[in-house]
Amino acid sequence: MTTTTTRVGIVGYGNIARGAEIALQAADDMELVAIFSRRSGITSASGTPVFTMDQIPSFQDKIDVMILCGGSANDLMEQGLEIGRYFHVIDSFDTHAKIEEHFTGMDRVAKAAGKVALISMGWDPGLFSLMRLLGEAALPHGKNYTFWGRGISQGHSNAIRRIAGVADAKQYTVPKEEYLERARNGEMSDFTAQESHLRECYVVLEDGADQARVENEIRHLKNYFEGYETEIHFISQEELDRDHAAMPHGGFVLRVGETQPQEAQVIEYNLRLASNPNFTSSVIVAYTRALMRMAAEGKNGCITIFDVPPAYLLAKSPEEIRHLL
Amino acid sequence: MTTTTTRVGIVGYGNIARGAEIALQAADDMELVAIFSRRSGITSASGTPVFTMDQIPSFQDKIDVMILCGGSANDLMEQGLEIGRYFHVIDSFDTHAKIEEHFTGMDRVAKAAGKVALISMGWDPGLFSLMRLLGEAALPHGKNYTFWGRGISQGHSNAIRRIAGVADAKQYTVPKEEYLERARNGEMSDFTAQESHLRECYVVLEDGADQARVENEIRHLKNYFEGYETEIHFISQEELDRDHAAMPHGGFVLRVGETQPQEAQVIEYNLRLASNPNFTSSVIVAYTRALMRMAAEGKNGCITIFDVPPAYLLAKSPEEIRHLL
């Protein structure tokens, strides 16, 4: 199968960007042309030239698609609206409550520009979203469960770090085996994320900080720890750096349903990831390929994982892909 | 979201057909119009009228899509070429070695008729195929493993039944936990289906049959048992009927890969099914919905699960579907 090479740019240069850089180097049908960062003077791991953000519009004839690797909280909505005017874009926007707003904005920009914007790609949202949809399709009378972990939640780690007296922290989200087993056994009940997850915190105190107060503040942090079973371990910075530097993650999507009364059918999808950002990026790169195929067919506007025909994910001919049947 | 009702016919009236009948009754956007069988005088569980096969062409204005529920060995290739001239069709063709031949034939017929034919749908081929593709896309440097069971293999049960002296038999395919664990632990090796599965047989002998000979013949059946660890249990017809009448099945698709050297990423998809045919049919009915959406967009020819945008599987609006992100 002959494919033209897709010219790719990366916007931002954090963990997801570095993962995309690795994944693109392994993809024969894609070429990483440039990386764009807010900071100047950066060199990239692959030797790809790094430019500043304001140079992005000048790459209109040199880049087909931009992988937007900024954060959901502050970067992606704004950057997408700007960069989506010039390029196809793909992002990993994961603020669930704002996805519809982001979709609407990106759809308008992409349609006006005749471009495709693929938002909220990765594993959750992303592959896990697809599993929730497939589960509902296969077993309409049923229930979806999502469990996250064991893995580091950046949001929860940051929330702990913002507490006065905390020098550093890492927080692991851990699914409770008991609830996983209940879902696996075909139980259809309404347990909450609070009930079914444990929060495991590793906290480094500043000199002289009040351990009891910090512990109390963590336990009562609304939207983060309140309502959760929370384990707090105070350790040294050396221990944190030595034992908690990796970025493992994972999780589970289960669909539990019945095709007839008392006829339990259980679908489980799970991930065990040594590197959360590198897996996320690898998925994003595969969907970048699919986005280009859809763009070549004349598609424009904002899309999600739900719109993508799976065959477009591989750089193989239809015949080769059918061998996977 | 307003949807027109899809008028569906079922061809054949075995286990998959009965499962489709159940799934269609639960689908508000679909109406089961008629069932077609080789045999006459049949009544259906749902009260849907049953016609003979020769009446199929007269339903051209009354049915949009036919779910072909015959067997892969003798029915589907032939029936598809005939029925695909008049209707959109979907089947669960699962003879892996002949899929490409079936695809070619169905593509020709469907294109000539301006119809869509979706072949090889179910869970393997079907959802498992999709997982193999998604795994390869997400982790290009890696390896797919498929395990089947624990569940009854109709083909292996039939093979035992054909041996002289055997009155009845059921064969369970069982994945070996040891190999599953090796895959789950991120091992990328080339173990075979023979190594990684156990074959568990429950056999009823005819009066006076030579047990030792039957056992020996089973163990040496080429393409079925030779090379496999095989357990053979001789039991009475009463025990077989009492303990082995259900049709549970399941299996596992694992993708084990590395995003960087020594960075193991593991994806697992597994099914635990109380009823294999009813789950298969439920998946087929969801993909029947998707087929109709693709047909409405002007698609024609033969397609597989790899061509279907997942959003088309649910009778929901794009906005509702994005809530699953």
Q: Does the pLDDT of residue B74 top 70, yes or no?
A: yes
Q: Does the pLDDT of residue B1 top 60, yes or no?
A: no
pLDDT band at A4 (very low <50, low <70, confident <90, very high): confident
Q: Which residues of A touch B313 (CB under 8 A)?
A: 133-134, 137
Candidate CATH numbers 3.40.50.300, 3.10.100.10, 3.30.360.10, 3.40.50.1820; the one for domain A127-275: 3.30.360.10
Q: Which amino acid is located at A23 in the chain?
A: A
Distance CA B170, CA B168 (A): 7
User: Where is A142: in which H helix or E strand?
Assistant: strand A142-148
Location of each CATH 3.40.50.720 domain in chain A: 6-123+277-324
Rounded alpha-carbon distances, angstroms, from residue A272 to A248, B6, B254? 8, 41, 11
CB B10 within 8 A of CB B23: no
How large a percentage of chain A has pLDDT more than 90?
94
Indicate the pTM of the whole model.
0.96
Model confidence over B113-166: pLDDT tens digits? 999 999 999 999 999 999 999 999 999 999 999 999 999 998 899 999 999 999
Hey, are the CB atoms on B138 and A129 less than 8 Å from each other? no
Q: Which residues of A touch B136 (CB under 8 A)?
A: 314, 324
Peptide bond into A248 cis (omega under 30): no
Mean pLDDT in chain B?
A: 96
Closest CA–CA distance from residue B142 to any residue of chain A (Å): 12
Model confidence over A19-70: pLDDT tens digits? 999 999 999 999 999 999 999 899 999 999 999 999 999 999 999 999 999 9
Q: Does the pLDDT of residue B281 top 80, yes or no?
A: yes
E strands, chain B, in order:
6-11, 30-37, 50-52, 65-68, 88-91, 116-118, 142-148, 151-152, 166-175, 197-205, 229-234, 249-258, 264-273, 301-303
pLDDT band at B3 (very low <50, low <70, confident <90, very high): low
pLDDT band at A3 (very low <50, low <70, confident <90, very high): low
Rounded alpha-carbon distances, angstroms, from residue B16 to A60, B51, B66? 53, 17, 13
Model confidence over B49-69: pLDDT tens digits? 999 999 999 999 999 999 999
Model confidence over A91-115: pLDDT tens digits? 999 998 999 999 999 999 999 999 9
Hey, are the CB atoms on B134 and A127 less than 8 Å from each other? yes
Hey, are the CB atoms on B263 and A274 less than 8 Å from each other? yes
Location of each CATH 3.30.360.10 domain in chain A: 127-275
Quick one: B244 exposed, middle or buried, by C-beta within 10 A (0-12, 13-18, 19+)? middle
Distance CA B151, CA B172 (A): 5
Q: Does the pLDDT of residue A174 top 90, yes or no?
A: yes
CB B7 within 8 A of CB B64: yes
Q: Which residues of A touch B270 (CB under 8 A)?
A: 267-268
- A6-123+277-324, which class in CATH? alpha beta
Grouping H, G, I as helix, E, B as strand and the rest as coil, residue A146 is strand
Backbone φ/ψ region at B71: left (φ over 0), alpha (ψ -120 to 50), beta: beta
CB B304 within 8 A of CB A325: yes
Q: Which two tokens stand for residue A106?
A: 């990106």
Distance of CA B241 to the CA centre of its chain: 24
pLDDT band at B240 (very low <50, low <70, confident <90, very high): very high
Spatial CA neighbour of B283 closest among B127, B165, B137, B140: B127
Q: Does the pLDDT of residue A282 top 90, yes or no?
A: yes
